[in-house]
Amino acid sequence: MAGSVKDLCDGADPGGAAVFNHTDEGMKMPVPAEYERASAHFYELLVEARELAGLGSTHQAYTMVQGVLQTFRRRLTCEEAIAFANLLPVALRALFVTDWDTQAAVVPFADRATLTEEVHALRREHNFSPPSAIQDVAHALRKRVDEAKFDALLATLPAGAVAYWQG
């Protein structure tokens, strides 16, 4: 059985994955729609982010989205970040946790210019994110989450989280 979220955040070895034993031959488990269409939903977000930001490709939008997510993630504890990730669509959830050093120090929120510069720091030579990158991604993301749950969670996170995701 996998370790707890707390164990994973503390850097513990999860000790293996959970095993699902389906012994009932008549039991059919459909793939949830959010997983079945994850790639299409992710691409739709990239297209919208590209259009909002005035970028030339979804490749450029991908870097912008990843930079916005990583910049936000650095300001959360592991437990807060997992709670946030659980509200994201599947592919964004995966992108949010990719390349994450869960032992890195949490940094405080800063002014918008500083946060935007941090977004630009990801693959700097190939990052064409505009000054509106955070707002553009926030606008595209908010269409794809349960806004009531999203806003309720943001209100429990460190000061600056709510302002970060205002589209």
Which pLDDT value is given to residue 27?
66
Which pLDDT value is given to residue 18?
41
Q: What would the mean pLDDT of 65-94 be, rounded to a whole number?
A: 96
Q: What would the mean pLDDT of 104-117 be, rounded to a whole number?
A: 96
> Distance between CA atoms of 80 and 57, rounded to whole angstroms?
32
Which pLDDT value is given to residue 9?
65
Can you say whether residue 157 is alpha, beta or left, with left for phi > 0 and alpha for psi between -120 and 50 degrees?
beta
Which pLDDT value is given to residue 17?
43
Domain boundaries, the chain: 31-164
Place of tokens 């989280």: 161
pLDDT beyond 70 at 16: no
Residues sharing a CB contact under 8 Å with residue 88, sequence separation 6 or more, in sequence order: 96, 141, 145
Segment 27-58, tens digit of pLDDT: 677 888 778 788 889 999 999 999 999 999 99
Residues sharing a CB contact under 8 Å with residue 46, sequence separation 6 or more, in sequence order: 58, 61, 62, 65
Which pLDDT value is given to residue 1?
41
Cα Rg of the chain (Å, integer): 17
Segment 122-150, tens digit of pLDDT: 998 889 999 999 999 999 999 999 999 99
> Distance between CA atoms of 10 and 6, rounded to whole angstroms?
6
Is 106:77 a contact under the CB 8 Å cutoff?
Answer: yes
CA 164 to chain centre: 13
The CATH classification number of 31-164 equals 1.10.490.110
Which pLDDT value is given to residue 37?
82
